[in-house]
A and B are shown apart, each in its own frame.
Chain A
Amino acid sequence: MPELLLELFCEEIPARMQVGGARDLERLMVGALSDRGLMFEGIKAFSGPRRLTLSIVGLPAQQKDVREELKGPKVDAPAAAIEGFLKKTGLAREQLTVQSSPKGDVYIALIERAGRDTATVLAEVIPEIMAKLPWPKSMRWVPGEAVRWVRPLRGIVATFDGELVPLSFAGVESGRTTLGHRFLNQGAIEVRRFEDYEAALKKAHVLIDAEERAAIILADAKTAAFAVGLELIPDEGLLAEVAGLAEWPVVYVGAIEDQFMDVPAEILQTSMRTHQKYFALRDPKTGKMANKFAVVANMIAQDGGKEIVAGNERVLRARLSDAKFFWDEDRKRTLASRVDDLKGIVFHAKLGTQAERVARIERLAGEIAAKIGADVEKAQSAARLAKADLTTGVVGEFPELQGVMGRYYARHDKEDEAVADAIRDHYRPVGPSDAVPTDKVAIAVALADKLDQLISFFSVGEKPTGSGDPFALRRAALGVIRILLQGISIGSSLRLNLREVGVNEEVLSFFGDRLEVALKDQKVRPDLIKAVFALGNEDDFVRLYLRVGELQAFLGTDDGKNLLAGYKRAANILKAEEKKDGTFVGKVDEGLLPEPADKALHAALANAISAIGPALDKEDFAGAMRAMAALRGPVDGFFESVKVNADDTRLRENRLHLLAGLRAALHRVADFSRIEN
């Protein structure tokens, strides 16, 4: 079956936009083809620095013929309605047929449309798609026209079944020739089908597939590192970026001068990565960063890369001289002396300066440290110094090194090790894959930092909305949860009542939502978190976690399932009856329990309540569940043998009080009305 080959060739596309561009092209094409009734067997999209390529196989040569009946207005409808229908269908009145329907006779239009050639449809569809392609940023370049593309479009290859699909976009006519590598190939390349297109471009030093380029870079960089006795430090983000900067990637290895090897590895690596897009290498034996780097060029140089390596080494020397200068300058002042400089840095217009923020964090870190058994003084001094590195030259140049640099400078100042580590680790976890701090001093500062962020921003009304979270409060909340719940599976746990350190109900509710998200991975049911949280915003997340865990286990048992069913039945009855009579509170008249089932439930409830309370107090959640399990039999028996809405009004009320008692007992453990079946 016929295939489509489409290549959109333009000047260098920003690396960060290439993969998205190809994905959007594919998505728009799939939509446009299905709208036009064209099915296909396969579609593949590719992207690179100068081209997006789309290959679709198994297209039909023609659309199917379409035959459809359109129901129109009634024959006695106003003339305007009938006119409208004729206009819509493009038919004359004689061409309509009449059909009887329950509402009377109606006009029917029989429309037959012959399927068009796929090539004709494609010629129409491709420019439409190109006009719709949502580049993150695009430009005009055609005089007098508003047409936009990511950079000037210079060529379109469009063939269907090997034949040219004539079309144009932005003044560029489609053709059957393209260009190879900018420097490693001369002249136009004729193409007809994807297979020869891909092969011809490979010969012309262009790899059209970003994944293939990335795989080659990774393999070659590993080999090149191995050849000099080193190994590559993996960097996924950088790999994706450099794969978008070369049509024919070639890895070269260069050297870093010894004078820079005293500079912290993080600075070297960050400078190389952000400014120069180099990979750092390390010694496989020591794990230490080595004095070599790998650069990905877009060129097989005639001299084997001598000039390229020498040039890159020279540029790096200038870059690292700058970095080293900052590093040397920064150490001329102590971190402690920089704390005062934070008065000059605005944190947020409504929340004052960084200095004010640091004062809040210091106080909070002290309070938290006292509660979790961390060294209060160390936590306070780590908090006081935590943001001081924001005033240093290195962090000014590389903001992502905040914290990391603070630790270096603190160690240089001979601050306590735990304090220095806490300065670095208080930002953690930075993302979902980042580790949480484990040292108690660091934990105190990390919690203080994040809780202050949440409390402060909520207090000035800067809350996350459905669409935006500019101050990363969700991430902060998630960080708090992860820190508090760390190590819970191995029994270690951090106990902190968040209300006692200034967290209000609004922030706690926000945490409730975040807990559901955070614990999803561990298969903790969100409805159970809601059910426990609803009892009054539990502010100790470890206790919450343990309680929800036991509840979830209990609800997985037979007793649990049946008790939940019994609860739902009781709650439904109460709901209906309370509409008429107001709330029942569970005050049972013991002299009015005629059936054994009445008595059994009453006795069981008394037992359960006296067991559940103390169990909860001792945080013996398993015990609380056992106490609830004991209710199952009496509850089942009650519903089997008595009629709640007895004819005797007093008896009815007493039984409703019994059920209200059941509800109240279970609600000691969780709000069962929020539990789903």
Chain B
Amino acid sequence: MPPKPAKAKTFQDLILTLQNYWAAQGCLILQPYDNEMGAGTFHPATTLRALGPRPWNAAYVQPSRRPTDGRYGENPNRLQHYYQYQVILKPAPANVLDLYLGSIREIGLDPALHDIRFVEDDWESPTLGAAGLGWEVWCDGMEITQFTYFQQVGGIECDPVCAEITYGLERLAMYVQNVEFVYDLAFNDQFRYGEVFHQNEVEFSTYNFERADTEMLFQHFKDAEKQCQALLDDDRKLPLPSYDQCIKASHAFNLLQARGVISVTERAAYIGRVRALAQACCQAWLQSPQGAYTPRFSDKGHG
């Protein structure tokens, strides 16, 4: 047994520990994508890079916005803005679960003291036309990670198959720090999470549920959809800017949902529209230089 490492004492320690760990495993350490999105999966480094033949190993933090989950800063663990740590390994190496468990040890959860289990949980994103098989990872009965082998993204079969590891950072930090109220987390040794983000939660809950201009959001959705389609039809072939518009449309839809102006029947139609954009972007990506790039044997590749 290796010596027990010190726990990641603060929220930022946790992030730094994961960054260092996955960097040591050869991952590109990327930065958050600068568009509002519901999950780290939407980052082009996952959605688009999961497709096509080129190997890809990357890790990054992604701020995730889920407008309907806002609770005005009053719920112990529900947030409309939180952080995911996302790792994508393509192709999934044979020892991928051991690599993952190494990261858990690294942040101070010693499997000799805890009960770590892989419980069936398949994943599906109707907006991205994506699906995969995997588990939620339990530590002493708490879900600390979502682990998925992608089978399909944008309606396209993944080959090679990648592994996606998603840590919910606040939840994991609450477990490591033994804290029951998310705002009590130590962000570093001077600031609590609440001092950094509580006001943010209150204000954005108000915005999401009460103040967001729905006329404007409907227009945003339409504009993004239109621009996305126009770019896809353009001779210049611009899958990345197209996909940006798809992400924008998806977020506008999420806000409209929070405002309660989309009925159950309309909901499915909107999801279908975003999915159609995502699928077209993914197909365009596969025709692009990086999307189509096939590595040759022993080729490190700069293209």
Contacts and interface: CB of A to CB of B under 8 A. Distances in A.
Main SS at interface, chain B:
loop
A12 B149 contact: no
B24 interface: no
Interface in A307-326: 307-308, 310-312, 314-318, 321
Interface in B96-148: 97, 111-120, 122, 132-133, 135, 139-142
Contact of B133 (A49, A151, A297, A303): A151
Given A302-B112, A308-B140, A311-B142, A152 B118 contact: no
B144 to A, nearest CB: 10
A441 B94 CA distance: 62
A317 B94 contact: no
Given A141-B92, A141-B149, A302-B113, A311 B76 contact: no
A154 interface: yes
Contacts of B288: none
A299 B151 contact: no
Nearest to B265: A346
A299 B110 CA distance: 12
B175 A154 contact: no
B114 A301 contact: yes
A139 B117 contact: no
Given A139-B133, A141-B149, A302-B112, A311 B139 contact: yes
A451 to B, nearest CB: 29
A154 B92 CA distance: 13
A152 B97 CA distance: 11
B112 A140 contact: no
A331 to B, nearest CB: 20
Interface in A278-300: 278, 295, 297-299
B77 to A, nearest CB: 7
A143 interface: yes
Contact of A318 (B149, B157, B180): B180
Interface string B146-187: 000101000001011100000000000001001010000000
Given A298-B115, A318-B77, A321-B76, A141 B141 contact: no
B91 interface: yes
Contacts of A97: none
A143 B111 contact: no
A226 interface: no
A78 interface: no
B113 A303 contact: yes
B141 A301 contact: no
A314 B157 CA distance: 40
A157 B135 CA distance: 25
A183 interface: yes
Interface in A599-648: none
A276 interface: yes
Nearest to B134: A151
A346 to B, nearest CB: 8
A218 interface: no
Given A302-B113, A307-B140, A144 B97 contact: no
A75 interface: no
Interface in A8-23: 11-12, 14-16
A184 B135 CA distance: 21
A182 B86 CA distance: 24
A166 B102 CA distance: 33
A137 interface: yes
Contacts of B141: 276-278, 295, 311-312, 315-316
B159 A144 contact: yes
Q: Which of A15, A138, A182, A276 has the most CB of B within 10 A?
A: A182
A152 B142 contact: no
Nearest to B143: A315
B107 to A, nearest CB: 15
Nearest to B162: A141
Contacts of B114: 299, 301, 307-308, 311
Contacts of A278: 141
Contacts of A316: 141
B140 A139 contact: no
A496 to B, nearest CB: 38
B159 A143 contact: yes
A245 interface: yes
Interface in A234-283: 245-246, 276-278
A12 B118 CA distance: 6
A312 B112 CA distance: 16
Contact of A143 (B113, B116, B157, B160): B160
A301 B119 contact: no
A608 to B, nearest CB: 65
Contacts of B91: 143
Given A11-B118, A245-B117, A298-B117, A312 B135 contact: no
Interface of B: 76-77, 91-92, 94, 97, 111-120, 122, 132-133, 135, 139-142, 149, 151, 157, 159-161, 175, 178, 180
The 10 residue pairs across chains A and B that have the minimum distance between CB atoms: A311-B140, A14-B120, A143-B160, A12-B118, A297-B115, A312-B141, A139-B133, A315-B142, A315-B141, A299-B115
23 contacts: A139-B133, A139-B149, A139-B151, A140-B161, A143-B91, A144-B160, A151-B133, A152-B94, A152-B149, A182-B116, A245-B117, A245-B119, A277-B141, A301-B113, A301-B114, A303-B113, A307-B114, A310-B140, A311-B114, A315-B140, A315-B141, A317-B180, A318-B180
Interface of A: 11-12, 14-16, 49, 137-141, 143-144, 151-152, 154, 182-183, 245-246, 276-278, 295, 297-299, 301-303, 307-308, 310-312, 314-318, 321
